[in-house]
Structure 1
Amino acid sequence: MDAIVEAALKKWPNVPHCHGWLALDARGDWYMRDERIQAAGPFPLVKGSRVTHEKLRQFIERNYAADESGCWFFQNGPQRVYLQLEAAPWVFRLDAGLLGDGLVHTHTGLSCPVDASWLDEQDRLFLSTPLGLGLVHSMDMDWAAQAVELGLWAPMPLTHTELLQRYCVVLQPMVKA
């Protein structure tokens, strides 16, 4: 977490949390969801505006974390902005160099090893890593197939709901009364 964010938390510790204004899709893209977009429909049916500003995206990625109940958020200074997730909190990218090292990249640029692999009922490939549960990016399925053929991964079937429960992931955090 950025030092400026930690300082803001100390200075203003009681800022209310925010829900519904930021989302992460299955391709690792961040989306801003203002009141108009939220009223137009649920995420991911109505996505909102993709965050394309590089510095803002990097700031979100540096200050991205989960709370103790499995809800993911972006710490925006003193305000915690809870995210809506399309599939998982991480989207993994693959390439030949990383697979040779047994690593994958997150959508935020972190590298990590793979502990287990899973196929859900929609044949989406999920990976378990020390960071938690993530979805393999759809454009990297050729690399994923090579990892399976090489015996690096042996995906086991598990429903998406069971995966979320097993790894304590909440896709749609709710406002607490």
Structure 2
Amino acid sequence: MDDIVRQALAKWPNVPHCTGWLLLDRRGNWRMRDDEAQARGAPGEPIRHVALLAFINRNYEADAGGQWFFQNGPQRVYVELGYTPWVVRLGAASDSDELSLTDQAGNAFEPSTAYLDDEGGVLFADTSTPPRIAVLHDHDLDLFSEHADVAEDGSSGRFRWRNGVTLPLQPVSHADVAARFGFVASPAQAAKGGAAA
């Protein structure tokens, strides 16, 4: 968290939280959701300002209840999640077959486990404690498939990661991901007393 954010929290500790206004979509884009977008259930407009994106990424974390938020100075802005709290891109070095995963903040993501969901999504859990869960950006499914062997029914397989490391592809239900990995997909719904995942 930025020092300026810590200072603002100390100066104004009781600023009300905000829900519904910020979305991390399934492709790792941060989106601003005004009242109209929220009323229509629309994803909102992508945020393109480079400095603002960097500020959001540096001040993005989860509370004890599994709700992810952006600490905007003294105000906690809870994030609606398009799927998971993290979205990763899969890349390959041009001069080798060495793979890498990078999260939406531009940081390396070291997978420990891989999953296939029942809707065709690929997810990775990393080596942190507790593990972060990330969905693979759909533009990278072709590259993923070049390094994966998947059962015909899509329920299992293996992913050839790198340096001789192969990750088993475990099945997971899309509907169970939030509960299984301890995050709240919609803090706005949770605040209204609705379904949180």
When the two structures are superposed, what TM-score results if normalisation uses the length of structure 2? 0.81
Which structure features the higher share of strand residues? 2
| Matching residue of 2:69 | 73
Please tell me whether Structure 1 or Structure 2 has the larger radius of gyration of its CA atoms: 2
| Matching residue of 2:156 | none
Residue 153 (1) aligns with residue 140 (2):
no
Which of 61, 65, 85 matches 2:81?
A: 85
Aligned residues: 172
Residues 88 and 109 of structure 2 are in contact (CA less than 8 Å); yes or no, is this contact kept in structure 1? no
**Letter of the 1:122 counterpart:** E
Residue 55 (1) aligns with residue 51 (2):
yes
| Matching residue of 2:191 | 175
| Partner Cα distance (1:99, 1:63) in 2 | 33
Residue 100 (1) aligns with residue 116 (2):
no
How far off is 1:116 after superposition? 0.6
**Deviates further, 160-169 or 105-114:** 160-169
Residues 4 and 77 of structure 1 are in contact (CA less than 8 Å); yes or no, is this contact kept in structure 2? yes
Residue 32 (1) aligns with residue 32 (2):
yes
Give me the CA root mean square deviation: 1.9
Structure 1, gaps ≥5 residues long: none
**Letter of the 1:135 counterpart:** V
Show CA shifts across 1:87-142 (max 9, x none): 101000111139736x4100111112101111111010011112510100111112
When the two structures are superposed, what TM-score results if normalisation uses the length of structure 1? 0.90
Larger RCO: Structure 1 or Structure 2 (Cα < 8 Å, ≥ 6 residues apart)? 1
Which of 119, 130, 144 matches 1:122?
A: 119
Show CA shifts across 1:65-93 (max 9, x none): 11111111000000000010011010001
Which of 107, 110, 114 matches 1:110?
A: 107
**Letter of the 1:163 counterpart:** V
**Letter of the 1:153 counterpart:** L
Residues 124 and 134 of structure 2 are in contact (CA less than 8 Å); yes or no, is this contact kept in structure 1? yes
Residues 32 and 50 of structure 1 are in contact (CA less than 8 Å); yes or no, is this contact kept in structure 2? yes
| Matching residue of 1:136 | 136
Give the direction of change, closer, same or farther, for the CA distance of 1:99–1:63 in structure 2 (3 Å limit). Answer: farther
Residues 31 and 44 of structure 2 are in contact (CA less than 8 Å); yes or no, is this contact kept in structure 1? yes
Question: Runs of 4+ in structure 1 displaced over 4 angstroms?
Answer: none
How far off is 1:154 after superposition? 2.3
Structure 2, gaps ≥5 residues long: 150-158, 161-165
